[in-house]
Amino acid sequence: MKFIPAVAAISSILCATPFASADSLHTHWEKFKAHRAFHHLSADGQRAFQDILKARDILQTTGKTEAAIPALYDAQKRLAAAQKADKKFQAAENDLHPAPQHPVIANHQPVVGQTDWLPVGGEFVVSETLAPEKKAAVATANAQLKSGNTDQAAQTMQVVGADADFIMALAPLTPVQGAVYRATVFTEGHNPQEAVAALTQALESVVFVSESTIETLAPAAPASAKK
């Protein structure tokens, strides 16, 4: 199994799309499942992680703290919006089952107890035994998803049909908010190395799970119910 670092994995699956339609009951059912998984994703969560990746890249490659500030402010705003929305799930991390395609990394710090998980990305994956033309179609579809071309990806997935699984990236909301806040403070204080470390911690907190796992998670309690 090829290991994929957390940062690279997150960067590769920040978009997703439903399966394309076909004229069979089975494929329509698979389309429904994938469509539901797609709507689990948090638009604000996806945008926040794009901002996190952007800020981290700026700080790591240039060290220019002023240039990273807008992305960090936007990430904070997006995470706050995601916290108020219903596109999150409540679960203990030890109840999650990481997808074998993206196991947790050595530096991953598990969250203790129940917490809100934010679905921030997704991708289609296939087995090694799948026909070469279907593997190529999935690779093309995932590239189209990453570019935001969901309609094109849906057309491409017609070649694959139901022979693909849907993997989702879950981020623990509160720890990520804390990491982004610390990164912002360090950046405002012109300390890019510490800011990069905080953002890396946010990225490494992500857990990749199968769509079937998402279906077993409990919806997060509304903000007004948490006293």
Least confident of 56-65, 114-123, 216-225: 216-225
pLDDT at 69: 98
Alpha-carbon distance values, 185 to 69, 180, 198 (Å)? 10, 9, 10
Q: Is the separation of the CB atoms in 138 and 101 below 8 Å?
A: no
Distance, in Å, from the CA atom of 28 to the CA atom of 86, rounded to the nearest integer, reads: 26
Give the pLDDT confidence of 36-87 residue by residue, as tens digits.
555 567 889 989 999 999 999 999 999 999 999 999 999 999 999 999 887 7
Give the pLDDT confidence of 158-173 residue by residue, as tens digits.
777 666 677 888 999 9
Distance, in Å, from the CA atom of 58 to the CA atom of 64, rounded to the nearest integer, reads: 7
- The residue type found at 190 is H
The whole-model pTM stands at 0.74
